[in-house]
Amino acid sequence: MWTGDYRYVLTNLIMKDFRVRYRNMSLGMLWSLLNPLVMMGVLTFIFTRVFPSGIENFPLFVLCGLVPFNFFSLAWISATTSLVDNTGLVKRVSVPREVIPVAAVLSNCVHLGVQISLLLGLTLLFGKGVHVQWLWLPVVWALFIPFVCGLGMLFAAIDVYIRDTRYVVESGNTVLFWLVPIFYSFENIRPEYADLYRFNPVAALVMATRNILLDGQAPATSLLRNLTIASAAMSLAGWFGFQKLKRRFYDYL
Amino acid sequence: MAVIEFQGVSKSFQRHAQRQLLRSRIRAMLTGQLKDRFQALRNVSFRVEKGESVAIVGHNGAGKSTLLSLIAGLAIPDEGAVHINGRVSALLELGSGFHGDLTGRENVHLNASLIGWDRKRTTELFDAVVEFSGLGEFIEEPLRTYSSGMVMRLAFAVAVHIDPEVLLLDEVLVVGDQSFQVKCIDRIREFRRQGRSLIAVSHAPALVRSLCDRALWLDHGELVMDGDVNSVIDAYQGNIVR
């Protein structure tokens, strides 16, 4: 039986990802900023010049959507492939398998930290000022990250049995880019499609981020409730699904 | 008290090479040809007592590595039961869990945490691990600059410091140079004097004879002989010659 230190092994796995990714890059952490800034620039150009949308402070508005979406899509795909990518660990080292997809999700939190700093910096730049409601940000993220961990565990386990899973996730991310209100506002959505967004945790996170940073308001209670339910349900589903599927990982890797 | 007990253990694997692709799964489901399995172990039973040192011999593909994976708890048997009492430390493949872009130091921390040490213990034992590995200043260099012998030194140094009740070795001792092999063999002897158990897979008969007192001979997944190391190896080698 493995009787080790979960926190220590997670820290080491996260540090490994971080070091491997940045050691060979001259610009280091700046790469974490480049992608959201480029996307922000392109989308701002399109939706203020080509198809003017009339949304004020559009760069900040769109970045509030991009940061949560980027985190989610990267964490989801890297967790999904984590077990197959770490076949050597799963087959040769008796570390608890759960830590591998969870570490893949948490590794992306390092980028997330950088991107949230960018987001807060931009909020100040747009003259919004520091607001006490900012304290809601850690709360919504603390609700959202367990959701992604659960989802990541489930998909990582499925990917061991069916290797096509990663392509499904890639397509899922593309679809989600359009189904999350990143470059449009939830208020513009026709009421008959509202449920598509109301039960989508990524959309909920985007809306909560805008409530907090743009409007200086606490997220709606219904939104927080739905996010809590989704997070609890997905962590449980991920955990139990993983327990069931992990017994045959060795045979399929 | 038995530290390892196998009771009628069988283990098989799906033979299809592309079984993890969706189309082959659907095809297999439609044609019902999921039965094509490779039997890695067939009804294997044995006990290893505390302090025993057991070699596993047999041809490639005889089931030796599968047997070690079952002891390490990495795989689960199809039939039968595997009972383990005590902490098992497995050195199944050179540098599994190591990463080439990390330095020796970072790899020791990563590897130690993976096999179950906490931060305090790793910090305490770090110097002893480096000392044993004999890597000196190389410990601050990235692992990809190491020779395979140096990787083995580091992996072995971590594995023997875990203080396991059972140490599993899969054909890893052959890489080091003569002086390091001697050091490892001394360490394993000392380890055995402390009443711990060793399970080793090796194709080097001299090494096996000097380290182990008992041997299991596996052939096509079946346990064909279990006994004193010299008689089993003589029989195994006689079988090869014939």
Summarised one tens digit per residue, pLDDT across range B184-206 is 888 888 888 888 888 988 878 88
Interface touch B75/A251, C-beta < 8 Å:
yes
Min Cα–Cα distance to chain B from A156, Å = 13
Mean pLDDT of all residues belonging to chain A: 90
Cβ–Cβ contact A244 with B under 8 A: no
Pair type for strands B37-49 and B2-14 = antiparallel
The predicted model gives B51-70 an average pLDDT of 88
Backbone region of residue B55 per phi and psi (left: phi > 0; alpha: psi in -120 to 50; beta: other values): beta
From the number of C-beta atoms within 10 Å of its C-beta (0-12, 13-18, 19+), residue A192 rates as exposed
Interface touch A92/B92, C-beta < 8 Å:
yes
Of residues B216, B164, B213, B210, the one with CA closest to residue B185: B210
A92 contacts on B by Cβ (under 8 Å): 74, 90, 92-93, 96-97
The predicted model gives B164-182 an average pLDDT of 78
Cβ–Cβ contact A190 with B under 8 A: no
Q: What type of residue sits at position A93?
A: V
B95 contacts: CB under 8 Å, gap ≥ 6: B143, B151, B152, B154, B155
The CATH number given to whatever domain includes residue B71 is 3.40.50.300
Structure tokens belonging to residue B106? 């970072």
In the three-class reduction of DSSP (H, G, I as helix; E, B as strand; rest coil), residue A66 is classed as helix
Backbone region of residue B80 per phi and psi (left: phi > 0; alpha: psi in -120 to 50; beta: other values): left
Q: In angstroms, rounded to a whole number, what is the distance separating the alpha carbons of residues B74 and A93?
A: 7
Min Cα–Cα distance to chain B from A87, Å = 9
| Top-confidence residue, A3 or A97 | A97
Cβ–Cβ contact B115 with A under 8 A: yes
Interface touch B97/A89, C-beta < 8 Å:
yes
Q: In angstroms, rounded to a whole number, what is the distance separating the alpha carbons of residues B237 and B235?
A: 6
End-to-end CA distance of chain B: 39
Structural domain harbouring B215: 2-241
How many other CB atoms sit within 10 Å of the CB of residue B99? 18
Min Cα–Cα distance to chain B from A91, Å = 6
Min Cα–Cα distance to chain B from A103, Å = 12
Interface touch A92/B115, C-beta < 8 Å:
no
Task: Evaluate whether A201 touches A146 at the Cβ level (below 8 Å).
Answer: no
For testing contact with chain A, the best of B113, B120, B172 (most A CBs within 10 A): B113
Interface touch A93/B115, C-beta < 8 Å:
yes
Q: Select from B22, B72, B110 the Cβ nearest to the Cβ of A12.
A: B110
Min Cα–Cα distance to chain A from B242, Å = 34
Interface touch A5/B115, C-beta < 8 Å:
no
Q: At what angle do helices A58-85 and A136-161 cross, to 10 degrees?
A: 40
Cβ–Cβ contact B174 with A under 8 A: no
A18 contacts: CB under 8 Å, gap ≥ 6: A107, A110
| Top-confidence residue, A3 or A48 | A48
For testing contact with chain A, the best of B67, B84, B110, B163 (most A CBs within 10 A): B110
Mean pLDDT of all residues belonging to chain B: 83
Burial pattern A12-42, b for ≥16 Cβ within 10 A else e, equals bbbbbbebebeeeeeeeeeebbeebbebbee
CB pairs under 8 A between A and B: 97
* pLDDT for B242: 54
Q: In angstroms, rounded to a whole number, what is the distance separating the alpha carbons of residues A86 and A90?
A: 6
Interface touch B119/A252, C-beta < 8 Å:
no
Q: Select from B74, B101, B113 the Cβ nearest to the Cβ of A12.
A: B113
Q: Which of residues 118-157 of B touch A (CB under 8 A)?
A: 118-119, 122
Cβ–Cβ contact A248 with B under 8 A: yes
Q: In angstroms, rounded to a whole number, what is the distance separating the alpha carbons of residues A57 and B19?
A: 52
Task: Evaluate whether A45 touches A30 at the Cβ level (below 8 Å).
Answer: no
Q: Select from B76, B90, B109 the Cβ nearest to the Cβ of A94.
A: B90
* pLDDT for A230: 93
Q: What type of residue sits at position B89?
A: S
> What are the residue boundaries of the structural domains of chain A, listed by start?
6-252
Min Cα–Cα distance to chain B from A138, Å = 28
End-to-end CA distance of chain A: 21
| Top-confidence residue, B33 or B117 | B117
Cβ–Cβ contact A15 with B under 8 A: yes
Summarised one tens digit per residue, pLDDT across range A87-144 is 888 888 888 899 999 999 999 998 899 899 999 999 999 888 788 889 999 999 999 9
Of residues B7, B84, B55, the one with CA closest to residue B198: B55
Summarised one tens digit per residue, pLDDT across range A161-206 is 888 899 999 999 999 999 999 988 888 888 888 888 878 899 999 9
Summarised one tens digit per residue, pLDDT across range B63-80 is 888 899 999 888 889 888
Q: In angstroms, rounded to a whole number, what is the distance separating the alpha carbons of residues A235 and B7?
A: 37
Burial pattern B195-232, b for ≥16 Cβ within 10 A else e, equals ebbbbbbbeebebbeebbebbbbbeebebebbeebeeb
Cβ–Cβ contact B17 with A under 8 A: no
DSSP A72-139: HHHHHHHHHHHHHHTHHHHHH----TTHHHHHHHHHHHHHHHHHHHHHHHHHHHTT----GGGGHHHH
In the three-class reduction of DSSP (H, G, I as helix; E, B as strand; rest coil), residue B223 is classed as strand
Cβ–Cβ contact B214 with A under 8 A: no
In the three-class reduction of DSSP (H, G, I as helix; E, B as strand; rest coil), residue B183 is classed as helix
* Whether pLDDT at B81 is above 80: yes
A210 contacts: CB under 8 Å, gap ≥ 6: A61, A64, A65
Say how far residue B50 (Cα) sits from the centre of its chain. 18
Q: In angstroms, rounded to a whole number, what is the distance separating the alpha carbons of residues A93 and A181?
A: 43
Interface touch B20/A160, C-beta < 8 Å:
yes
* pLDDT for B190: 85
Interface touch B106/A15, C-beta < 8 Å:
yes
A13 contacts on B by Cβ (under 8 Å): 110
Residue B194, phi then psi, degrees to nearest 5: -80, 5
Helix (H) or strand (E) holding A218: none
